[in-house]
Structure 1
Amino acid sequence: MNDLKLYAVFAETVAAGSMSAAARRLGMTPSAVSQSIRALESETGVTLLHRSTRKLTLTEAGQRCLPHCQRLLDAARAASDSLLQARDAPSGELRIAAPVGFGAHIAAALAPVLAAWPQLRLHLLVDDAMIDLIDARIDIAIRAGQLPDSDWVARPLCELEIILCAAPSYIDSHGMPAEPEDLQAHHWLASPREPNAGARIVSNNQLTLQQMCEQGLGLARLAHADAAPALARGALVRVLPGTRQSSLPVTAVTPGRTGDPAKVRVALDALRRHFAALPGCLSG
């Protein structure tokens, strides 16, 4: 295919009325504009313009070609506008992947964003399995824990404080541990990534572990932010509150470091603010 720029220069020259005016519009020299049109005429073997010292006149072939070139310019401008909109105004579909336990956090963080930008749509994939981010066309993936090596860009959101919890009914039946050494005698609810030797229940779903903990089935290490509502209503109590547990890094990963569209930028800002305000957020 011939160089599309040559057609654009031809259409802009006709619209401007002269090569010098077209040169100013295009940021080119008049000589470069003239050479572009001559190159197009040479490639096609057709004369497009009659040139005189006073004006340019379209040939019959030029008249037939011009509407197609104008549509080409219109399409290019529309493409440019769409890219500018993606850069400056959140719109289109925002695809986010997150573990099951983080669904509520995504909803709380992005509700104001979706209210402020009605042209923005959210597609939230909630799954504890590691989905293929490229195949799923993910814009932002929320990850908890240590990240595997990846070409994606990691953007830290928070270090969630992990606390040890139990239901009051469990404490009534088994007693409240007074020292860390007492924990060995208790039932444990654990995730596969935790040391779980002797654990009574193992699940890769933190929400499920918390629900089982609230039912009095054992002790569980839970994110303070997730356990806070249950602690407030008395469904859970803290065990050994003076003993520091590990923390859980929460990270947003994105395909690129620069050139994020507006929908990704505003979503990342909203997620940072939300996680920074959570109970037990140690850092952001």
Structure 2
Amino acid sequence: MEDFKRMAIFAAVVECGSMSAAARLLDMTPSAVSQHMRQLEQAAGLTLLHRSTRQLTLTDAGQRFYTQCATMCEAAARARAELAAERQQPSGELRLSAPAGFTTHAVPALGAWLAQHPSLRLRLLMDDAPIDLIQARVDLALRFGNLPDSSWVARRLGRSPTILCAAPQWLQAHGQLPGHPRDLMQLPWLDLSRGESAQIDMHWRRPQTAEEFQLQVLPRMTSNHRAAVQQFCEAGLGLALLSAHDVTGSLKQGRLVRLLPDWDMGTIDIWAVTPQRNALPAKVRQAIEVLRDYFVRLDGMQAEGAQAL
């Protein structure tokens, strides 16, 4: 590495025409520049510069050596420019990890932004199982719910209320709407679960009266895929706690009905997770803002400002 530094100093001396001018350019002392030149020539065993009181001239070996040093400096300048461009404009490949339930949101959230930047490529990794961002070389990950402790950096994009849903045909077969969480204990449940324990433990609160209720049920069906739970619910196979931003369309179109709307059933946070906090390239910074703007406008969401854990 010291040789590279001396090669860069040598190129600056040649281009500036004197060691003192090169020293000013490099923010060094003239004696330090002169010492580097002597060490460079000693290591090479050749004279590279003829020195006089008025000027410096290159030897034949020095001329050939300067050509290679200048090429090295130009390559370094291009590398720095590439990094600067990466900071300013989205380019290259963005590796984005997201749960499979994000499938229906991917195009409306990212499509227009991707079209605006033809030099940007998107690799979308859809998987409900959390993956190691470093090992998978992921630039940005979407995470839903509570996050485990880690060295990664999380920025909250929004918060979605959890609501109790059932299909109209299930309600017709059941005969009456439940009026209290206690009425739900013997009913068929559908649940999102990634663990081995199938039991659902729920804590609900009625804000108007501050009444609280604990509910434990054994679901009839579980899946690690959020969309699968919603599809079973829409098919009339049971009750499910679903995120408001996922079911707004189904509620409007009558495929689902909301139950116990006066009870608070919690919320689910949506996070943008990156392996590091600082020096994010433009493609990651802009993707976070694009996703935040999308979730702010999305029906059923309670928008949140950025928050780092």
Give the TM-score band, short-chain normalised.
Answer: over 0.9
User: TM-score with structure 1 length normalisation?
Assistant: 0.94
- Number of the residue aligned with 1:167: 167
Q: CA deviation at 1:205?
A: 0.8
Q: In 2, are the aligned partners of 1:94 and 1:264 still within 8 Å (CA)?
A: yes
User: Quick check: 1:187 aligned with 2:205?
Assistant: no
Query: What amino acid sits opposite 2:78 in the alignment?
Result: A
Query: What amino acid sits opposite 1:214 in the alignment?
Result: E
Q: CA deviation at 1:143?
A: 0.9
- Number of the residue aligned with 2:264: 244
Q: CA deviation at 1:283?
A: 4.2
Q: Partners of 2:26 and 2:282 in 1: how far apart?
A: 28
Query: What amino acid sits opposite 2:170 in the alignment?
Result: Y
> What secondary structure does 2:130 align onto?
coil
- Show CA shifts across 1:172-215 (max 9, x none): 11132222221123211111264373211111111001111111
- Number of the residue aligned with 2:139: 139
User: Quick check: 1:233 aligned with 2:253?
Assistant: yes
Root-mean-square deviation (Å): 1.7
Fraction of identical pairs, as percent: 51
Question: What runs of 5+ residues in structure 1 fail to find an aligned partner?
Answer: none
- Number of the residue aligned with 2:212: none
Q: Partners of 1:7 and 1:220 in 2: how far apart?
A: 68
User: Quick check: 1:32 aligned with 2:32?
Assistant: yes
Question: What runs of 5+ residues in structure 2 fail to find an aligned partner?
Answer: 195-199, 202-215, 305-309
- Show CA shifts across 1:121-159 (max 9, x none): 111100011222211100111111111121111111112
Q: Partners of 2:239 and 2:72 in 1: how far apart?
A: 67
- Show CA shifts across 1:46-88 (max 9, x none): 2110011222111121122111111110111111111111111
Query: What amino acid sits opposite 1:191 in the alignment?
Result: L
Q: Partners of 1:151 and 1:68 in 2: how far apart?
A: 43
Kindly report structure 1 stretches of 4+ aligned residues shifted beyond 3 Å: 193-197
Q: Partners of 2:231 and 2:81 in 1: how far apart?
A: 49
Query: What amino acid sits opposite 1:216 in the alignment?
Result: G
Superposition map of 1:1-284 within 5 A: 2-175=2-175, 176-192=177-193, 194-195=200-201, 197-284=217-304
Q: Partners of 1:210 and 1:35 in 2: how far apart?
A: 73
> What secondary structure does 1:3 align onto?
helix
**Which segment drifts farther, 19-28 or 46-55?**
19-28
Q: CA deviation at 1:95?
A: 0.6
Query: What amino acid sits opposite 2:232 in the alignment?
Result: M
Q: Partners of 1:197 and 1:242 in 2: how far apart?
A: 21
Q: In 2, are the aligned partners of 1:142 and 1:251 still within 8 Å (CA)?
A: yes
Q: Partners of 2:33 and 2:114 in 1: how far apart?
A: 46
